[in-house]
């Protein structure tokens, strides 16, 4: 069996294992979770293993050492190994752009607008930022949005607090907007997801 066949077999296992196990009825939740965990760990380790293998194969090629089966180069001739390096990079960039797009859409949905904005009160905090206090019984505080990031705090969170604690919560959320955290988190989330 060639190195290419082993590599393609393992890649196929990573793709098919969660799909096959997740589609079946009556499969134990532990088996399903384990299949998905194996898939996630495999996909997480794949770039590191591929780059290590590719680096050793390129090093062996440059040193003039013959590697059985071509190593990770799968028998490619000298000069063709660049394609083997560009393909994973293109896939990684494609994943990064796809996840970034998904996160941008999610960030746009999190922006405060419409009826929620009309019923909100702006509370000034230090640094010129403002925090929007939204009437709601649910305790929540977040800084979100992409084009116009805003800090949002609900009345359900502020109601049981005294004035110093309310000010601290509002200052904290306002600092997230002032420091640009919502946009940084979209970029970081895309990188982490890819």
Predicted confidence at residue 83, as pLDDT, reads 62
Among 170, 165, 162, 184, which Cα is nearest to 100's? 184
pLDDT, residue 133, reads 92
Cα dist from 141 to 74, 158, 180, 191, whole Å: 53, 9, 16, 25
Q: Rounded to 5 degrees, what are φ and ψ at 168?
A: -65, -45
Determine contact, residues 144/107, Cβ cutoff 8 Å: yes
The CATH number of 110-193, from 3.40.630, 3.90.320, 3.30.2010, 3.30.450, is 3.30.2010
String of DSSP letters for 56-97 = HHHHHHHHT---GGGGGGTTPPTTTHHHHHHHHHHHHHHHHH
Look at the block and give the residue holding tokens 């077999």: 9
Domain spans in the chain, listed from the N-terminal domain onward: 3-79, 110-193
Confidence at residue 128, expressed as pLDDT on a 0 to 100 scale = 76
**Which positions of the chain have pLDDT values less than 70?**
1-5, 7-8, 22-24, 48, 50-51, 54, 57-58, 61, 66-86, 88-89, 110-113, 115-116, 190-194
């Amino acid at each position: 069996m060639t190195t290419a066949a082993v590599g393609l077999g393992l890649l196929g296992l990573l793709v098919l294992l969660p799909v096959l196990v997740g589609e079946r009825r009556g499969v134990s939740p532990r088996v399903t979770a384990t299949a998905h965990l194996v898939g996630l760990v495999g996909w997480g380790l794949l770039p590191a293993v591929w780059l290590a293998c590719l680096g050793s194969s390129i090093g062996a090629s440059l040193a003039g050492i013959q590697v059985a089966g071509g190593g990770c180069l799968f028998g490619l001739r000298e000069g063709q190994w660049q394609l083997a390096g560009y393909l994973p990079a293109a896939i990684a960039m494609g994943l990064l752009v796809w996840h970034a797009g998904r996160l941008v859409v999610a960030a746009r949905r999190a922006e405060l607008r419409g009826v929620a904005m009309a019923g909100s009160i702006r509370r000034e905090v230090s640094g010129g930022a403002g925090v929007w206090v939204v009437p709601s019984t649910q305790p929540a505080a977040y800084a979100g949005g992409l084009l116009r990031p805003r800090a949002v705090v609900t009345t359900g969170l502020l109601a049981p607090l005294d004035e110093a604690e309310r000010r601290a919560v509002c200052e904290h959320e306002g600092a997230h907007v002032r420091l640009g955290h919502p946009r940084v988190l979209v970029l970081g989330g895309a990188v982490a997801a890819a």
